[in-house]
Amino acid sequence: MRYHFVVCMKQVPMVSELPWDSRSGRLRRDLADGMMNPACKHALEAAIQLKDRHGARITVLTMGPVMAEEILREALAMGADSGILLTDPKMAGADTMVTSFTLARAITRECPDFDLVLCGCHTSDSETAQVGPQLAEELNVAGVAYVEKLDLQHHTVRLEREADDFLETIEMDLPGVVTIATQRYTPRYASLGGLQEAFDRDSITVIDAQGLGLTPEQIGRNASPTRILDVYSPAAQKENIVMRGSAKKVVEDLLDQFGDQIAAAIGKDLKPNG
């Protein structure tokens, strides 16, 4: 069989700290260039590796402003087959619940034959980690979050993930949703030839709210129950920590203890052994 994977992705600001609009409580995303959310890139890499092994069609899906097409093109260059851009001013301001609802609607309508939906485990700009699990609910299929390794066997997928210091191995029937952790699937670089072709190809479908059969009341800020009451910068807490031992050990300890925080601060995942 030839699988159909849908990889959901988000364009996030390239810098780790952005000013926000104090009145609306929203980040001023317009002030920075966008990039593919690092964890989404890992999810795409996982999908491409599965495609290489088992044969598959990969559709990448994003909701965002018109410029979010950039990350879909990049995904095509990496190995995706087609892209769907959900863009409509009325979709703006969606919270995670409405985002999941809208993505699920697009998947149901445009990719009804999907076998597996892959998402990044979280985004670097809001870090909620909610959209993947919510998407499983909306699609009414099984879902597993923070997957570190996966492989397919006919109509099931075998997953490994670390939870509370245990290594879990889970088998899940397809179709399903997984969110991919950022440990194992180090994303490949898009080739320069691939990028040129990705922009020459006619493989992106642009859909607005009407195209999804959704009314303004069902989407965007209007439909989002989440209210942001306040946004503030956590007070910086400085602490001197002295790490001892050989240079090699100190660096390893540093990465062990603070690798995730460093990765979050620089907006880039640190490669294992990198």
Contacting positions for another protein (CB under 8 A):
14, 33, 35, 67, 69-70, 73-74, 77, 189-196, 199, 268, 274
Shortest CB 199 distance to another protein, Å: 4
Query: Which CB atom, from 15 or from 67, has the smaller least distance to another protein?
Result: 67
Q: Which is nearer to another protein, 55 or 199 (CB)?
A: 199
CA distances from 68 to 9, 81, 83, 161, 264 (A): 10, 17, 11, 30, 21
CB of residue 188 to another protein, shortest distance in Å = 9
Q: How far is the CB of 125 from another protein (least distance, A)?
A: 16
Contact 56, 95 (CB under 8 A): no
CA–CA distance, 56 with 262 (Å, rounded to integer):
35
Looking at the Cβ atoms of 84 and 159, the one nearer to another protein is: 84
| Tokens linked to 111 | 């990719």
Q: Report the residue number, 168 or 252, with the smaller CB distance to another protein.
A: 252
Distance of closest approach, residue 34 Cβ to another protein, in angstroms? 9
Task: Please state, as a whole number, how many other Cβ atoms lie within 10 Å of the Cβ of residue 142.
Answer: 15
What the block records as the tokens of 18 is 């952005």
Residue-by-residue DSSP string for 215-258: -GGGSHHHH---------PPPP--------S-HHHHHHHHHHHH
Q: Which is nearer to another protein, 33 or 260 (CB)?
A: 33
Cis peptide upstream of residue 112 (ω within 30 degrees of 0): no
Min dist. Cβ of residue 67 to another protein (A)? 7
Quick one: DSSP state of residue 38? Answer: H
| DSSP conformational letter for 92 | T
**Do residues 86 and 61 touch, judged by C-beta distance below 8 A?**
yes
Q: Output 68 or 121, the one with its CB closest to another protein.
A: 68
Quote the least distance from Cβ 14 to another protein, whole Å. Answer: 8
CB-based burial, 187-198: b 16+ in 10 Å, e otherwise: beebeeebbeeb
